[in-house]
Structure 1
Amino acid sequence: MLKEKKVFVIGHKNPDTDSICSAIAYAALKNKTDDGVFVPKRAGEVNNETKYVLDFFDVETPEFIGHVGTQVKDVEIKPTPSLDEGISLKNAWNKMRDLRESTMPIVNDGVLEGIISVKDIATANMDIYETRILAISHTKYTNVLDAIDGTMIVGDSEEEITKGKILIGAANPDLLENYVEDGDMLLTGNRFENQLCGIEMNAGCIVVCTGAPISKTIQKLAKENNCKIISTPHDTLMVARLISQSAPVRYFMKKDHLITFSREDFISDIRDTLAKIRHRDFPVLGRDGKYCGMLSRRSLLSMDNKKIILVDHNEKGQAVDGIDEAEILEIIDHHRLGSMETALPVFFRNQPVGCTGTIIYDLYQENNVEVDQKIAGLLCSAIISDTLMFRSPTCTPKDKKAAEELAKIAGIEIQEHAEKMFRAGSSLADKTPEEIFYQDFKKFSGNDKNFGAGQISSMDKTELEQLRPKIAAYMEGAVKEGEMLFFLLTNILTESSDLVFAGEGAKELVETAFGEPEENWVHVPGLVSRKKQFVPSVLHVLQQ
Structure 2
Amino acid sequence: MITIGDIATAYMDVYDNCILSTAGTSYKNILETLEATMVVGDEEATYEKGEVIIAAANPDVMEDYIHEGDMVILGNRYESQLCAIEMGADCIIVCMDAKVSRTIQKMAQEHDCNIIVTPYDTFTAARMINQSMPIEYFMKRNDLTTFHLADKTEDIKGVMGKKRHRDFPILDENDRYVGMISRRNLLNLRKKQLILVDHNEVSQTVDGIEFAHILEIIDHHRIGTLETLEPVLFRNQPLGCTATIIYQMYQEHGIEIPKNIAGLLMAAIISDTLMFRSPTCTPVDQKAAEDLSEICGVEIEEFAVDMFGAGSDLSSKEPKEIFNQDLKRFEVGDIEFIVSQINSMNSIELQEIKEKIVPYLEEVFEGLGVSMAFVMLTNIVKESTELLCFGEKSKDVVKEAFQLSGDMKRIILKGLVSRKKQLIPSLVSILQQ
TM-score bucket (shorter structure): 0.7 to 0.9
Give the Cα–Cα distance (whole angstroms) in 2 for the partners of residues 357 and 392 of structure 1. 15
Question: Is there any run of 5+ residues in structure 2 with no aligned partner, and where?
Answer: none
Match of 2:6, SS state, is strand
1:413 is displaced (CA, Å) by 4.0
Query: What's 2:393 paired with?
Result: 504
Amino acid in structure 2 at the alignment position of 1:499? L
Deviates more, 1:491-500 or 1:401-410: 401-410
Match of 2:145 in 1: 260
CA distance 1:390–1:226, change in 2 (3 Å)? same
- Counterparts of 2:42 and 2:192 in 1: how far apart (Å)? 57
Residue 534 of structure 1: aligned partner: 423
Which structure 1 segments of 5+ residues have no match? 1-81, 84-102, 105-114
> What corresponds to 2:33 in structure 1?
147
Aligned residue for 1:338, secondary structure, equals coil
State how far apart, in whole Å, the 2-side matches of 1:171 and 1:392 are: 100
CA drift of 1:457 comes to 0.7
Taking structure 1 as reference, are residues 169 and 316 closer, same or farther at Cα in structure 2, changes over 3 Å only?
closer
Cα distance between partner residues in 1 of 2:223 and 2:51: 79
Distance 2:315 2:87 in 1: 88
Percent identity, aligned pairs only, is 46
Counterpart for residue 442 of structure 1: 328
Distance 1:435 1:392 in 2: 25
Q: Which residue of 1 aligns with 2:308?
A: 422
Q: 1:484·1:506 contact (CA, 8 Å) conserved in 2?
A: no
What amino acid maps onto 1:318 in structure 2? Q
Is the Cα contact below 8 Å between 2:63 and 2:83 reproduced in 1? yes
Matched, 1:116 2:116: no
What CA distance in whole angstroms lies between the structure 1 residues aligned with 2:316 and 2:114? 77
Matched-pair contact (CA < 8 Å) for 1:169–1:186 = yes
TM-superposed deviation, 1:271? 6.4
Contact 1:455–1:487 under 8 Å retained in 2 = yes
Please tell me the residue identity of whatever aligns with 1:334: H
Secondary structure at the aligned position of 1:241 is classed as helix
In the superposition, the TM-score normalised over structure 2's length comes to 0.77
Conserved 8 A contact 2:401-2:426:
no
Aligned pair count reads: 424
Contact 1:511 1:517 in 2 (8 A): no
1:342 is matched with 228
Q: CA RMSD in A?
A: 4.3
CA offsets 1:131-180 (integer angstroms, 9 cap, x no match): x3322221122331233222334444343211244354567779878876
Higher relative contact order (CA 8 A, sep 6+): 1
- Of 367, 378, 382 in structure 2, the residue corresponding to residue 494 of structure 1 is 382
What is the match of residue 28 of structure 1?
none
The one-letter code of the counterpart of 1:229 is I
Q: What is the letter of the counterpart of residue 168 of structure 2? A: V
Match status 1:280 vs 2:170? no
| CA spacing shift, 1:174–1:323, aligned 2, 3 Å | closer
TM-score, normalised relative to structure 1: 0.64
The match for 1:212 among 98, 102, 106 is 98
**Is the 8 Å Cα contact of residues 260 and 283 (structure 1) preserved in structure 2?**
no
The answer for the alignment partner of 2:263 in structure 1 is: 377
Deviations 1:490-529 (A, max 9, x none): 2223333233345526357447637658734333443222
Identify the range of structure 1 (313-322 vs 184-193) with the bigger mean alpha-carbon deviation: 184-193
User: What is the CA distance between 1:283 and its match in structure 2?
Assistant: 6.3
Rg: which structure is higher? 2
Q: Which position in structure 2 is the counterpart of 1:110? A: none
For 1:497 and 1:445, the matched residues in 2 are separated by: 22
Indicate conservation of the 8 Å contact 2:10/2:130, yes or no: no
Q: Specify the alignment match of 1:400 in structure 2.
A: 286
- Write the mapping of 1:99-498 to structure 2, written as runs, cut at 5 A: 103-104=3-4, 116=6, 118=8, 120-121=9-10, 123-125=12-14, 127-128=15-16, 130=17, 132-168=18-54, 182-190=68-76, 203-214=89-100, 227-251=113-137, 253=138, 255=140, 258=143, 260=145, 262=147, 264=151, 280-281=164-165, 284-288=168-172, 289=175, 290=177, 292-293=180-181, 295=183, 306-324=192-210, 326-410=212-296, 412-444=298-330, 451-468=337-354, 470-472=356-358, 478=365, 483-498=371-386
Q: Is the 8 A contact 2:373 2:394 kept in 1?
A: no
* Aligned partner letter, 1:442: K
* Offset at residue 431 of structure 1 (A): 3.3
